[in-house]
Amino acid sequence: MSKVLIIGATSAIAIACAREWAKEGTAFFLVGRNARDLDDVRADLAARGATAQTHVLDFAATETYPAVFEQCFAALGRVDIALIAHGSLPDQKQCEADADIAMREFMLNAGSVIRLLTLLAARMEPQKSGAIAVLSSVAGDRGRPTNYLYGSAKAAVTTFCDGLRAQLFKSGIHVLTVKPGFVDTPMTRGLPIPGILLAQPRTVARDILAALKSRKGVLYTPFFWRPIMWIIRMIPDGVFKKLNL
């Protein structure tokens, strides 16, 4: 039976992944900020044949992070797959107007992920097996005027994961960086996104599971975001700064 840790377990993408893993009778340790929502996820997975324990985490209380892993490893014994999925899409204009909001959002989207990954890596390394999937974003590939606070946080996560992948490879642990484009989740609700560019969480989840199986390092999902982001990265700076992307 696989042992799966999910941080940000109430995320729509995380739930879609968990439902796929639940088909294999997985044992989950689910971490999130809202006890009632976590319990709904737990019940949903139990109805699909899995077992799950929950842990409520206040992501701002960084001193409580070690307890997450104490309890997770006490409950599961080992972690075969860890998925880090929490994140928020801040209002860029608010971040420009208030440096405290900007830093709070940066700390959630980058700082908390890096802190959790640092603690998790130390716990997983002695296992000499397992995989960690981290939800970054295509937004981290180039800073855009409409979301560069979020983009810079995801860039930090992506670069951290590049290094962590090379570091943990020596211990037999795989690190997957997931770069979704637009996904139809509460995070994007109400945004003016053309339907053709909006993927369903289930599609992204299946891509994540396949990428973990093939031990891919970086996943663009859906696949067409890889060439789109290549083009966006290639636009000369003199042109890019005149576009309102």
- Taking the complex as a whole, how short is the minimal distance between the CB of residue 76 and ligand NAP, in angstroms? 20
**By CB under 6 A, is residue 140 in contact with ligand NAP?**
no
168: left (phi over 0), alpha (psi -120 to 50) or beta: alpha
Q: Distances in Å between the alpha carbon of 150 and those of 4, 59, 130, 184, 199?
A: 27, 17, 29, 18, 20
Give the range of 65-73, 83-91, 141-149, 206-214 binding ligand NAP by CB under 6 A.
83-91
Give the range of 3-11, 45-53, 94-102, 158-166 binding ligand NAP by CB under 6 A.
3-11
Query: Rounded to an integer, what distance in angstroms lies between the CA atom of residue 145 and that of residue 203?
Result: 28
Q: What is the DSSP letter of 100?
A: H
Sign of torsion over alpha carbons 137, 140, 145, 147:
positive
Beta bridge partners of 220: 179
Roughly what angle, to the nearest 10 degrees, separates helices 112-124 and 148-169?
10
**By CB under 6 A, is residue 229 in contact with ligand NAP?**
no
Closer CB to ligand NAP, residue 28 or residue 59? Answer: 59
- Taking the complex as a whole, how short is the minimal distance between the CB of residue 187 and ligand NAP, in angstroms? 4
**By CB under 6 A, is residue 182 in contact with ligand NAP?**
yes
Which residues between 48 and 67 bind ligand NAP (CB under 6 A)?
A: 59
Query: Rounded to an integer, what distance in angstroms lies between the CA atom of residue 166 and that of residue 174?
Result: 9
Binding residue for ligand NAP, selected from 135, 176, 205, 219, defined by CB under 6 A: 135
**By CB under 6 A, is residue 88 in contact with ligand NAP?**
yes
The catalytically annotated residue of 65, 148, 150, 220 is 150
Query: Rounded to an integer, what distance in angstroms lies between the CA atom of residue 230 and that of residue 236?
Result: 12
Give the range of 7-15, 70-78, 164-172, 228-236 binding ligand NAP by CB under 6 A.
7-15
- Taking the complex as a whole, how short is the minimal distance between the CB of residue 143 and ligand NAP, in angstroms? 15
Cα end-to-end span (Å), the chain = 45
Query: Residue 101: which residues within 8 A CB-CB, separation 6 or more?
Result: 90, 94, 95
**By CB under 6 A, is residue 186 in contact with ligand NAP?**
yes
**By CB under 6 A, is residue 130 in contact with ligand NAP?**
no
Q: Is 148 a catalytic residue?
A: no
Contact residues toward ligand NAP (CB under 6 A) are 8, 10-13, 32-34, 37, 59, 85-88, 108, 135, 137, 180, 182-183, 185-188
